[in-house]
Structure 1
Amino acid sequence: MTAPKIQQLALIAAALAGVAGAAGVILSAVSAHLSASPLLTTAASFLLIHAVATLALAALALAAPRRGGWFLCGAALFLFGSMLFCSDLAFRALLGVRLFPMAAPIGGSALILGWLSSAVAALAALASKAA
């Protein structure tokens, strides 16, 4: 992947992380004022944590463009996973229905893969510096 493409994708990931962070703040407010469901609190926390993690991966992709694709893979998995996981929890807390069967486990698995992808990206970048 070329450096300009890495930069474009990193900025898109950063923009989407901003949206995820805003959604986390909104769910925190809803949890505090409308529904004290622990599911909603968990969804808000996960959105906020993974929004910040996505921003960090986008920054790392910009700093290490040769390995940026791996960092962006992790960012994409964070965004996808938090969307599924947190949407399912919010639907259950607010509407009493699931997003779709297995949405939360699929989303949670994507989040785990995102963390593993970030570890692989960091190790690959470290190995390329040592070589």
Structure 2
Amino acid sequence: MSNPTPASRLLLVAAGLCGALGVAAAARASHAGDDNLGIAANFLLLHAPVLIGLSVIAVSRMALAAGAVLLLGLVLFAGDLAARSLLGGALFPLAAPLGGGGLIVGWLLVVLTGVVGWKRAD
């Protein structure tokens, strides 16, 4: 990662936090038998490498947008599931569905990043 931008560094930091929180949530879920927290852990752990990858190719605004939207969706979705498990209530009404929708949009932006990059390479 030569000359990383502040935005790409932020995605890398977020990836590390997602990984660490995912491992902690998975450990807690396995001992407590908590399905919601287990799902949140899986989503955090699944998306951490994606954020690392996007931070590496973050020379594109589209890649940065994909990372930002994925991160926001992840915070809302996994955060809501974790809040329900650990705090006994949702972050706010519809936080999980909004976060899930954000994750879908973020993945579609990843697709668009690839398509735009592919067209430029031709």
Q: Counterparts in 2 of 1:15-34, with a 5 A limit? A: 15-33=13-31
TM-score (norm 2): 0.92
Kindly report structure 1 stretches of 4+ aligned residues shifted beyond 4 Å: none
- Structure 2 unaligned runs (5+)? none
Return the match for 1:93 from 62, 74, 85: 85
- Structure 1 unaligned runs (5+)? none
How far apart, CA to CA, are the structure 1 residues paired with 2:98 and 2:86?
Answer: 20
TM-score (norm 1): 0.86
How far apart, CA to CA, are the structure 1 residues paired with 2:5 and 2:79?
Answer: 28
How far apart, CA to CA, are the structure 2 residues paired with 1:19 and 1:40?
Answer: 16
Q: How many residue pairs align between the two structures?
A: 120
Q: Deviations over 1:25-83 (max 9, x none)?
A: 110111122x211111100000111111111111122xxx2xx1101111111111111
Provide the identity percentage: 37
How far apart, CA to CA, are the structure 2 residues paired with 1:11 and 1:126?
Answer: 24
Report whether the alignment pairs 1:7 with 2:24.
Answer: no
Query: Whose helix proportion is higher, 1 or 2?
Result: 1
Return the match for 2:119 from 103, 123, 127: 127
Which letter maps to 2:21? A
How far apart, CA to CA, are the structure 2 residues paired with 1:41 and 1:17?
Answer: 18
| Residue equivalent to 2:51 | 54
| Secondary structure of the corresponding residue to residue 22 of structure 2 | helix
How far apart, CA to CA, are the structure 1 residues paired with 2:26 and 2:17?
Answer: 14
| Secondary structure of the corresponding residue to residue 47 of structure 1 | helix
Which letter maps to 2:103? L
CA-atom RMSD, angstroms? 1.3
Report whether the alignment pairs 1:75 with 2:75.
Answer: no
| Residue equivalent to 1:44 | 41
